[in-house]
Amino acid sequence: MAAGPLVAGSKGQAVARRAAPVAAATLQPDCLPVTPAARLLDTLDLLSDIDRLARPADAVISAWVRGRRKMDDDDRGAILDRLYALMRHRARLAWWLDRHGREDTSRNRLLAWLALAEGRSPEQVKRLCSGGAHAPAPLTRAEQTLLVKLQGSEIEHPDMPEEVRVECPGWAVEPLRRRFGADFSVEMAALLTQPALDLRVNTLKANRPDMLRALKTLDLPAAPSELAPQGIRLNQRLSLGRLAPLKSGELEIQDEGSQLVALLVGAGPGDRVVDFCAGAGGKTLAIAAQMANKGRIIACDVNEGRLKRASERFRRAGVHNAETRLLASETDRWVKRHKVSFDRVLVDAPCSGTGTWRRNPDARWRPEDDQGLETLVALQGRILTSAARLVKPGGRLVYATCSMLTEENEDCVSTFLAAHPEFRVVPLREVAPQVTRSAHDSYLSLTPARHGTDGFFAAVLQRG
């Protein structure tokens, strides 16, 4: 399976996190010997940075990878595998530390992992933590005692609460139980698996049969996606530098679920389209390809940096009918000036991101600038209401999230419809009958356990 850092992160974050400097330890040149102890030290440095910095893990990891371009793929892979495993077991490791009266720190979590998951003896860990130039600091007496107490135990324990075993943060337990009922544990367990690497063929430059053949010449086990018509799935770790079609714009990294959301927009050549919360433009690219570069698509966002990255991606992909628009807020004056002007409007709303926890295991433990779910739902309602003004009569409004919470999805749509009777739901079977098995009621509803994608929701609405 593809490791987390090799897969693009989903947008779906409520608010852009504050920029913060990456620790110097993560930017050292490729001059260190990569011994088992050095691998351990790099893992600890990365884990400490992720815990300490106000940045998502994928940003910290990307900076670290850029500083280690000459590192062997096996060494880099081993470090990142251990790092992602640590993030996926955070609650269980914290439970063990609390059980033995120890603080939940990056170093204590790593030591507990070595004992519980890798089965290393206290003496083996002591040799790795030698305090040398390229090794973690020596063990303290308290750390040695902890390792002795953990020796012979497994990472899961019968006394663990269910939410700890499935790594579900306290704020999300009840909403997710209401959503999944008896399937709660199954759905949460799927969020702890490593995701495949999903690609989308850019039909402005290539076609799927040719891309499948090109990948297979590289001895990569590429297969067509089950649901997305231009999707390709790779169930293997690889250095993305090997994929020349990514650099040429023939392929884009995009989860199959995200591809399906773009598909529901149903844009055609000549249409006028708005991607209202475009982020770095992943769905905008897919929609532009649907439009065959004809018509007009405007990628809007409140974050200038994301839009700059989107523009760069448009150029690489050969997209000529897309432009960016920086908004001051969801009620920017631009929206009022362009009321009822567009055939299609996509609102990929900021959300809790529960559906992306496979790719972003740190996100479940990072409160979005202390926003509660109620605050987030209110923001989603305001965004949807404002964006709806852009849809012309007979036009389509698609509301989507990468959340699996009913409050952010079905409930948000119901509230909107109650206040805007001029819109109606278009059932999924009418919009995309080929993906009807992915429906929940009339909506697209994807989960990792059921569909092998990230968790996504989408409602297709039409103005009368």
Q: Mind telling me the catalytic residues?
A: 402
Residue type, 312: E
- Would strands 272-275 and 296-301 be described as parallel, antiparallel, or unpaired? parallel
HSE of 312, CA atoms in CB hemisphere, 13 A: 9
Tell me if 290 sits within 8 A of 264, measured CB to CB. Answer: no
User: Tokens 């995200």 belong to which residue?
Assistant: 258
φ, ψ of residue 461 to 5 degrees: the values are -120, 150
Which two tokens mark 261?
Answer: 């959301």
398: part of which helix (H) or strand (E)? Answer: strand 391-401
Question: Cβ contacts of residue 244 below 8 Å, gap of 6+?
Answer: none
φ, ψ of residue 429 to 5 degrees: the values are -65, -25
CB atoms within 10 A of CB 419: 11
Tell me if 442 sits within 8 A of 425, measured CB to CB. Answer: yes
Tell me if 251 sits within 8 A of 213, measured CB to CB. Answer: no
Q: How far, in Å, are 28, 77, 129, 138, 167 from residue 135 at the CA level?
A: 15, 18, 6, 9, 30
**DSSP symbol at 391:** E
